[in-house]
């Protein structure tokens, strides 16, 4: 597992995975390109033998206390082996480095796998956005994690930064 920052050159592979993973509500290529290039974003990819098998993105405006997990996806053939968790932990570590206090996300109500991942990393449901995902007419579950609690729960005795610890678990991330 190798994690690294996403670049514009990854756009084609990211969009192929985006369309395969979110058949009814994939982002447009223009939106994804904008996200990857944004100074407020932090997008990473997961590679295996040179092929892109996952990506994830954080939106964390410098100096802000809130951040959002924008997206996280692992190719179907690579799921269930800890890669999604490693991506999420890398995003949390980056948010911690940026001084964020609370991390938010939205997840489809009919996506128990992603919800289980988020709950296991300390996210809690704080509300719902009825019928948010169209055209499927599915509610969004809004979740929040206290990042200082996340750091304390996972690295209570460590003096190393949360980012260093998460990267050590998840691979190499620049
Ligand atoms: C959600 C997703 C990123 C998880 O990635 P993954 O690499 O398969 O997940 P991991 O192997 O890291 O597992 C992390 C946790 O997810 C949950 N999980 C993973 N696979 C699961 C399954 N088949 N059934 C139930 N829970 C599952 C478990 O809580 C698991 O923790 P555990 O291994 O300690 O039990 C991946 O399933 C995916 O890309 N799904 C499609 C896109 C998507 O829904 N993205 C989220 C949008 S909000």
Q: Which atom of ligand 1 is nearest to the CA of 107?
A: 48
pLDDT (0 to 100) of residue 171: 44
Homologous superfamily of the 2-170 domain (CATH):
Gcn5-related N-acetyltransferase (GNAT) (3.40.630.30)
Angle 137-114-2 from CA coordinates, rounded to 5°: 130
Considering the chain, what is the average pLDDT of its residues? 91
Compute, in angstroms, the gap from residue 114 CA to the centroid of ligand 1: 5
Q: What is the Cα–Cα distance from 81 to 161, expressed in whole angstroms? A: 25
pLDDT for 167 equals 53
Determine the Cα–Cα distance for residues 45 and 67; give it in Å rounded to an integer: 19
Q: CB under 8 Å to 31, separation ≥6 — which residues?
A: none
Secondary structure class of 9 (helix, strand, coil): helix
Ligand 1, residue 114: give the atom nearest the CA.
1
Whole-prediction pTM:
0.92
């Amino acid at each position: 597992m190798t994690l690294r920052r996403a670049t514009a050159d990854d756009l084609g592979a990211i969009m192929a995975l985006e369309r395969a993973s979110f058949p009814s509500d994939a982002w447009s290529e223009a939106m994804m390109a904008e996200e990857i290039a944004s100074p407020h974003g932090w997008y990473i990819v997961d590679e295996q033998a040179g092929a892109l098998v996952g990506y994830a993105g954080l939106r964390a405006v410098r100096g802000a206390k809130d951040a959002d997990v924008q997206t996280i996806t692992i190719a179907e053939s690579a799921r269930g082996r800890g890669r999604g968790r490693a991506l999420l932990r890398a995003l949390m570590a980056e948010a911690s480095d940026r001084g964020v206090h609370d991390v938010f996300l939205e997840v489809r109500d009919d996506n128990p796998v992603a919800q289980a991942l988020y709950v296991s990393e300390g996210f809690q449901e704080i509300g719902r956005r009825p019928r948010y995902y169209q055209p499927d007419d599915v509610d969004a579950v809004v979740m929040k994690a206290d990042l200082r609690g996340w750091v304390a729960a996972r690295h209570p005795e460590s003096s190393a930064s949360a980012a260093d610890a998460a990267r050590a678990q998840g691979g190499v991330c620049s």
